[in-house]
Amino acid sequence: MTSSSGAGRFAPSPSADLHIGNLRTAVLAWLFARSTGRRFLMRVEDLDDRTFPEIAERQLADLAALGLTWDEEATRQTEHPQRYDAVVDGLRERGLLFECFCTRRDIAQAPRAPHAPEGAYPGTCRNLTDAERERRREETGRPPALRLRSDVTAYTVHDVLHGDYTGLVDDFVVRRGDGVPAYNLAGVVDDAASGVDQVVRGDDLLSSSPRQAYLARLLGHPEPVYAHVPLVLNADGARLAKRDGAVTLAEIGVPEALAQIADSLGYAARTVEDMLGEFDPARLPRTPWIYQPG
114 and 251 belong to one structural domain: no
Note the pLDDT tens digit of each residue in 127-166: 999 999 999 999 999 999 999 999 999 999 999 999 999 9
145 and 220 housed in the same domain? yes
Annotated ligand binding at 113? The verdict is no
Q: How far is the C-alpha of 58 from the C-alpha of 66, rounded, in Å?
A: 13
From 228, 251, 276, the end of a domain falls on 228
Backbone angles phi, psi at 64, to 5 degrees: -65, -35
Same domain, 97 and 216: yes
pLDDT value, residue 3: 43
Contacts of 237 by beta carbon, 8 Å cutoff, 6+ apart: 288, 290
Establish whether 10 is an annotated binding residue: yes
pLDDT attached to residue 244? 85
**DSSP letters along 112-169, please?**
--TTPPTT----TTTT--HHHHHHHHHHH-SPPEEEE--S-SEEEEEETTTEEEEEE-
67 plus 86 within the same structural domain: no
* Domain stop point among 228, 254, 269: 228
> pLDDT value at position 26?
98
Q: Do residue 177 and residue 102 come from a single domain? A: yes
Q: Are residues 17 and 146 in the same domain?
A: no
Residue 293 sits in the same domain as residue 162: no
CATH number at residue 132: 3.40.50.620
Range of the domain at 34: 1-79+230-294
Instruction: Say whether 201 counts as a known binding-site residue.
Output: yes
Give CA–CA dist 97/201, Å, rounded.
28
The total of structural domains in the chain comes to: 2
| Same domain assignment for residues 199 and 242 | no
Consult the annotation and say whether 11 binds a ligand.
Answer: yes
pLDDT at 152: 96
Decide if 4 contacts 38 (C-beta within 8 A): yes
Q: Both 177 and 234 in a single domain?
A: no
Question: Which one-letter amino acid corresponds to residue 203?
Answer: D
Question: Can you give the pLDDT at residue 4?
Answer: 54
Shared domain for 224 and 234, answered yes or no, is no
Q: Is 239 annotated as a binding residue?
A: no
Please identify every stretch of the chain with a pLDDT value under 70, giving residue numbers as ranges. 1-4, 113-115, 294
The whole-angstrom separation of Cα 23 and Cα 173 is: 29
Which of 194, 228, 262 is the endpoint of a domain? 228
- 234 lies in the same domain as 224: no
- Any binding-site annotation on 12? yes
Q: Per the annotation, does 102 bind a ligand?
A: yes
- 3 and 104, same domain (yes or no): no
Determine the Cα–Cα distance for residues 280 and 218; give it in Å rounded to an integer.
Answer: 33
Q: What is the enclosing helix (H) or strand (E) of 199?
A: strand 198-202
